[in-house]
């Protein structure tokens, strides 16, 4: 066991760029998010008020939105990009729009994703771009493609437009050598996303890692998928690139599997998920010379494991094939401490009109409430820093 360790309780570093007022405001918000009752009431009232068209956007923007989003536009997000960059943390601009249903809306989202790519050009403060397949494609078509169903003419036309959008986004990224993540989604259409990601990697990752797929390690099949995908890349002569997450849709996955009578694709226990996540990190580090990977996690133990393994293997903290990532507004103790030691680390920074990002924000609030241990640690550290400053 390595004796190397990072101090993720270093609150002076974790909150070094926060003013006293910002620190207290964050503490108050996280205290509310840590209460299942207040969280439920708050998110329910927000959804209800927005559904009635009540003018609550200024309140949302001044509280939860400000904590977890960069702004309504790329331009509004510049302050966050600059602030994170000043301490060595990169920004991943995430256009957090969900629930689109028309071809015109999908094209608009595709164009906005390309704008985020163009904004990132030659800017070390934006190491990655990202897009979500459901932002540019209808769910029904993605599911039909995953089930390998025969498509009628209408569905075939939709499938071709999906392919064109993905190709345009990845081509734009490759043209300026800007790495881009394709986010993971629900298992029943993830196969389509995997196939498109592999196709784009085979096309654009010959010289350097440009396109990254995302694997949700709470799925029982993902560790083997990781190994198979890397071997395929080796055999075909391109660089496999991957972002590793634990997963975000556990309850929905289990409920659907139970309702439809098929085995749940999700590990039965948290310990099994942790084991696969850590095994994936170990596998990626073993092959870091011929692949690139991102440990996207708020889990301190997994982060310590990877940092210690890098240290023991004599791998530079800032090796270009090894990255860490957390969500903006969360896990600052991990992000800021990693950055202070010269690791490659970035924050996912969602942006978009307040009303359009509410689904994302509500999901963050609900996830935070259910992840009681994580929230308790965040609150404890915020409290410790407030106490340390004597405010």
CATH number, position 253: 3.20.20.220
11 and 106 inside one domain: no
Q: 3-state class of 332 per DSSP?
A: helix
Domain that holds residue 52: 1-69+360-391
d(CA 265, CA 251): 11
Q: How far apart are CA 130 and CA 281, in angstroms?
A: 21
Tracing tokens 């997450």 back to the chain, one arrives at 245
- Examine the domain organization and report whether 285 and 253 are in the same domain: yes
* Per-residue pLDDT reduced to its tens digit, 141-158: 999 999 998 999 999 999
- Let me know the angle formed at the C-alpha of 120 by 345 and 359, rounded to the nearest 5 degrees: 75
Mean pLDDT of 282-311: 98
For CA atoms 144, 150, 156, 160, the dihedral sign is: positive
Residue 374: count other Cβ atoms within 10 Å of its Cβ. Answer: 17
Q: What is the average per-residue pLDDT within 242-262? A: 95
Q: How confident is the model at residue 135 (pLDDT cuts 50, 70, 90)?
A: very high
pLDDT computed for residue 365 by the predictor: 61
309 is written with which tokens? 């393994």
127: how many CB neighbours lie within 10 A of its CB? 20
Q: How many domains does the chain have?
A: 2
State the pLDDT at residue 146: 97
pLDDT at 47 over 70: no
- 259, 346: one domain: yes
- Residues 120, 93: contact at Cβ < 8 Å? yes
Output 269 or 1, whichever has higher pLDDT: 269
**What is the pLDDT averaged over residues 157-180?**
98
- The overall average pLDDT reported for the chain is 92
Q: What is the pLDDT of residue 31?
A: 85
pLDDT at 372 over 90: no
- Asked if residue 256 and residue 190 are part of one domain, the reply reads yes
**What single DSSP character describes residue 351?**
E
Considering the domain architecture, whether residues 78 and 65 belong to the same structural domain is answered as: no
In this prediction, residues 115-128 reach a mean pLDDT of 98
Say yes or no: 18 and 103 in one domain.
no
Q: 367-376 — which CB contacts under 8 Å span 24+ positions?
A: 367/248, 368/30, 368/33, 368/34, 368/39, 368/330, 369/33, 369/34, 369/35, 369/36, 369/39, 369/40, 372/34, 374/298, 375/30, 375/33, 375/34, 376/34
% of the chain beyond a pLDDT of 70 = 91
Burial of 37 (0-12, 13-18, 19+ CB in 10 A): exposed
Residues near 12 by Cβ (< 8 Å), separated by ≥ 6? 385, 388
| Both tokens assigned to 191 | 């196969």
- What pLDDT, on a 0 to 100 scale, did the predictor assign at position 280? 99
Give the mean model confidence (pLDDT) for residues 6-18: 97
Buried (b) or exposed (e) across 131-145, using 16+ Cβ within 10 A? bbbbbbbbeebbebb
pLDDT class of 63 with cuts at 50, 70, 90: confident
Residues 15 and 98 in one domain: no
Q: Indicate whether 347 and 267 sit together in one domain.
A: yes
C-beta of residue 386 within 8 angstroms of C-beta of residue 12: no
Element spanning 322, H or E: strand 322-327
Please give the residue that has the higher pLDDT: either 55 or 98: 98
Do 19 and 161 belong together in one domain? no
pLDDT on residue 192: 98
* CA 98/CA 304 separation, integer angstroms: 34
d(CA 27, CA 275): 32
44 & 75 share domain: no
Query: What DSSP letter does each residue of 91-106 carry, written as one string?
Result: EEEEE------SHHHH
Please state, in angstroms and as integers, the Cα–Cα distance from residue 80 to each residue in 15, 72, 86, 91, 151, following that order.
15, 12, 10, 8, 44
Residue 53 and residue 109 share a domain: no
Indicate if 130 and 8 belong to the same structural domain: no
Q: Which residue has the higher pLDDT, 323 or 361?
A: 323
Residues 6+ apart with CB under 8 A from 388: 11, 12
Token pair for residue 25?
């405001």
């Amino acid at each position: 066991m390595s004796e190397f360790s990072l101090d993720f309780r270093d609150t002076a570093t974790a909150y070094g760029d926060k003013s006293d007022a910002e620190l207290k405001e964050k503490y108050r918000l996280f205290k509310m998010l840590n209460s299942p009752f207040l969280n439920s009431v708050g998110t329910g009232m927000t959804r209800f008020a927005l559904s009635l068209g009540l003018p609550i956007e200024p309140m949302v923007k001044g509280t939860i939105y400000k904590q977890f989003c960069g702004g309504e536009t790329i331009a509004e997000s510049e302050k966050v990009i600059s602030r994170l960059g000043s301490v060595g943390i990169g920004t991943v601009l995430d256009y957090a729009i969900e629930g689109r249903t028309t071809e015109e809306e999908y094209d608009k989202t595709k164009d906005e994703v390309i704008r985020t790519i163009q904004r990132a050009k030659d800017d070390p403060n934006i190491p990655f771009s990202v897009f979500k397949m459901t932002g540019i494609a209808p769910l029904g078509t993605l599911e039909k493609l995953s089930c390998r169903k025969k498509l009628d003419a209408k569905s075939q036309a939709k499938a071709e437009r999906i392919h064109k959008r993905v190709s345009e986004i990845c081509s734009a990224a490759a043209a300026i050598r800007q790495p881009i993540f394709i986010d993971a989604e629900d298992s029943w259409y993830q196969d389509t996303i995997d196939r498109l990601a592999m196709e784009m990697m085979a096309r654009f990752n010959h010289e350097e890692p440009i396109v990254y797929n995302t694997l949700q390690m709470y799925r029982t099949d993902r560790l083997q998928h990781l190994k198979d995908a890397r071997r395929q890349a080796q055999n075909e002569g391109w660089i496999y690139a991957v972002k590793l997450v634990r997963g975000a849709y556990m309850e929905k996955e289990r409920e659907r599997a139970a309702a439809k009578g098929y085995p749940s694709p999700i590990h039965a226990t948290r310990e099994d998920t942790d084991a696969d996540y850590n095994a994936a990190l170990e596998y990626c580090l073993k092959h870091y010379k011929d692949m690139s990977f991102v440990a996207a996690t708020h889990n301190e133990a997994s982060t310590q494991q990877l940092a210690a393994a890098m240290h023991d293997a004599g791998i530079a903290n800032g090796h270009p094939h090894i990255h860490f990532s957390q969500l903006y507004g969360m896990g600052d103790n991990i992000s800021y401490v990693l950055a202070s030691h010269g690791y490659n680390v970035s924050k996912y920074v969602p942006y978009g009109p307040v009303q359009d990002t509410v689904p994302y924000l509500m999901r963050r609030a609900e996830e935070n409430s259910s992840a009681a241990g994580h929230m308790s640690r965040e609150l404890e550290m915020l409290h410790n820093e407030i106490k340390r400053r004597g405010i």
